[in-house]
């Protein structure tokens, strides 16, 4: 088993925190898994982007842990027309 870097350990811990926080809220677990799987494709050498997403994830986790949070919104890029 390969050793993980400090940043990888932090991201794995963030993922576990998200899963725990999303248990009480319907529909959150699949969304959390999809988001982390999508971002797992980012190159390991793109540290700046990974750190940005980590900080963004921390802020989103704080929102998710708020008892008043009922749903998550997201922004997505519109599909490009061919």
Locate 68 and state its tokens. 């008043």
pLDDT tens-digit series, residues 7-64: 899 999 999 999 999 888 888 899 899 999 999 999 989 999 999 999 999 999 998 8
Domain spans of the chain, in order of start: 6-65
Q: Which residues, 6+ apart, have CB-to-CB distance to 2 below 8 Å?
A: none
Q: At what angle do helices 47-65 and 6-22 cross, to 10 degrees?
A: 30
What pLDDT score was predicted for residue 15? 95
Quote the pTM value. 0.76
């Amino acid at each position: 088993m390969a050793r993980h870097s400090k940043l990888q350990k932090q991201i794995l811990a963030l993922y576990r925190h998200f899963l725990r926080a999303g248990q009480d809220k319907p529909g959150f677990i699949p969304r959390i898994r999809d988001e982390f799987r999508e971002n797992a494709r980012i190159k390991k050498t793109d540290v700046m982007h990974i750190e940005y997403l980590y900080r963004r994830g921390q802020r989103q986790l704080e929102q998710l842990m708020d008892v008043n949070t009922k749903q998550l919104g997201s922004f997505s890029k519109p599909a490009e027309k061919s």
